[in-house]
């Protein structure tokens, strides 16, 4: 069964729009949740979240975790064409440092 579920699977917006990407998880022994951005190459790290309710922010991107409801959101404000990518969510489990990935959200930002 899927341990990490992302939604939507794909999204098309126009420059300047704000988007919210969702990640829900069901992982025993939760340690952290990570967001990655993947363009036409390897995933690159965006955020790590460990505590509920504390927003992580980097420029136009922000993310927050809810450990009670087992989900996280990634917000992108004032989107640009350079934000077009697949956004991956992963959850780290304590045992043997294992990471479980969602299938990703493909974001397409049109000019």
CB count, 10 Å around CB of 99?
13
Cβ distance to another protein smaller for residue 17 or 32: 32
Radius of gyration of the chain, Cα coordinates, nearest whole angstrom = 13
Q: How far is the CB of 67 from another protein (least distance, A)?
A: 14
Nearer to another protein, 88 or 109 (CB): 88
Residues 9 and 103: beta-carbon distance below 8 Å: yes
Residue with tokens 């939604």: 7
- Minimum Å gap between C-beta 111 and another protein is 25
**If you count them, how many residues does the chain have?**
111
By CB under 8 A, name the binding residues for another protein.
4, 6, 31-32, 34, 41-45, 48, 50, 88, 90, 92, 96-104
């Amino acid at each position: 069964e899927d341990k990490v579920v992302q939604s939507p699977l794909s999204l098309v917006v126009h420059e300047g729009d704000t988007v919210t990407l969702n990640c829900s998880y069901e992982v025993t022994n939760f340690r952290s949740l990570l967001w990655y951005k993947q363009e036409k190459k390897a995933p690159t790290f965006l955020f790590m979240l460990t505590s509920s309710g504390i927003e992580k922010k980097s420029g136009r991107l922000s993310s927050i975790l809810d450990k009670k409801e087992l989900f996280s959101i990634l917000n992108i404000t004032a989107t640009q064409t350079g934000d077009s990518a697949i956004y991956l969510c992963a959850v780290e489990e304590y045992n043997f440092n294992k990471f479980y990935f969602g299938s990703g959200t493909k974001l397409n930002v049109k000019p």
